[in-house]
């Protein structure tokens, strides 16, 4: 099985746009967190409107802070990542880390606090439940023990998309920063067209 570091994932060629746009599945709005607030803070007051224009969505359809009541095609989440990298980070995918780190800080405060007190294992054990609550395709299967964990994503076409894989991996990387923990290893592993595997050691 092919394995990637985060830096290697950042360099993986994207799927053709038509393939990404055809992906089945939806993601709940709260998984996007306060995306618009953060891109405006970092890239200027018009940044969220520019991104929405590129997606072909209005502020009503995609507010700066979507909620649990909003649902979006999975390709919207993937395209948001690509547009931020292309239009606001000068094509540098690794620079997306700073944007994601800010949005990670707006995750559920009680969970972040508990994770800082007890370690990342608590949060990672809940990854399967969280995925089920925000995404209507595929499953996430966590396996957590002392100082290490794996997440196995199965049964969804989106799990093969290189941008989706990069976004999930960088999200986990920045989660450790928000929990004040240092990662010794994080790597992704190819599991075919409908699967992805992430390995972490801390």
Distance from C-alpha of 164 to C-alpha of 146, rounded to nearest angstrom: 27
Residues whose CB is less than 8 angstroms from the CB of residue 118 and which lie 6 or more positions away in sequence, other chains included: none
The average pLDDT across 154-181 equals 93
pLDDT on residue 97: 80
Distance from C-alpha of 86 to C-alpha of 51, rounded to nearest angstrom: 11
Cα angle at 14 between 34 and 47, to 5 degrees? Answer: 30
Distance from C-alpha of 115 to C-alpha of 117, rounded to nearest angstrom: 5
User: pLDDT per residue over 106-121, tens digit each?
Assistant: 445 555 555 566 779 9
90 CB-contact burial (10 Å; exposed 0-12 / middle 13-18 / buried 19+): exposed
CATH code given to domain 3-201: 3.90.1520.10
User: pLDDT per residue over 74-105, tens digit each?
Assistant: 999 999 999 999 999 999 998 888 776 655 54
Query: Per-domain residue ranges for the chain?
Result: 3-201
């Amino acid at each position: 099985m092919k394995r990637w570091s985060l830096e290697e994932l950042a360099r993986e060629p994207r799927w053709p746009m038509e393939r990404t746009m055809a992906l089945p599945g939806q993601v709940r709005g709260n998984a996007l967190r306060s995306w618009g607030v953060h891109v405006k803070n970092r890239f200027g007051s018009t940044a969220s409107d520019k991104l929405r224009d590129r997606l072909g969505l209005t502020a009503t359809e995609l507010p700066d802070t979507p909620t649990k009541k909003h649902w979006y095609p999975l390709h919207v989440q993937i395209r948001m990542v690509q547009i931020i990298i292309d239009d606001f980070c000068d094509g540098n995918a690794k620079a997306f880390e700073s944007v994601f780190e800010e949005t990670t800080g707006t995750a559920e405060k009680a969970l972040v606090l508990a994770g800082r007190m007890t370690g990342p294992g608590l949060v990672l054990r809940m990854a399967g439940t969280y995925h089920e609550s925000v995404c209507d395709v595929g499953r996430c299967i966590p396996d957590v023990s002392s100082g290490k964990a794996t997440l196995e994503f199965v049964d969804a076409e989106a799990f093969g998309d290189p941008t989706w894989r990069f976004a999930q991996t960088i999200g986990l990387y920045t989660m450790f920063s928000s929990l004040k923990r240092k990662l010794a290893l994080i790597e992704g592993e190819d599991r075919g067209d409908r699967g992805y595997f992430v390995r972490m050691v801390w």
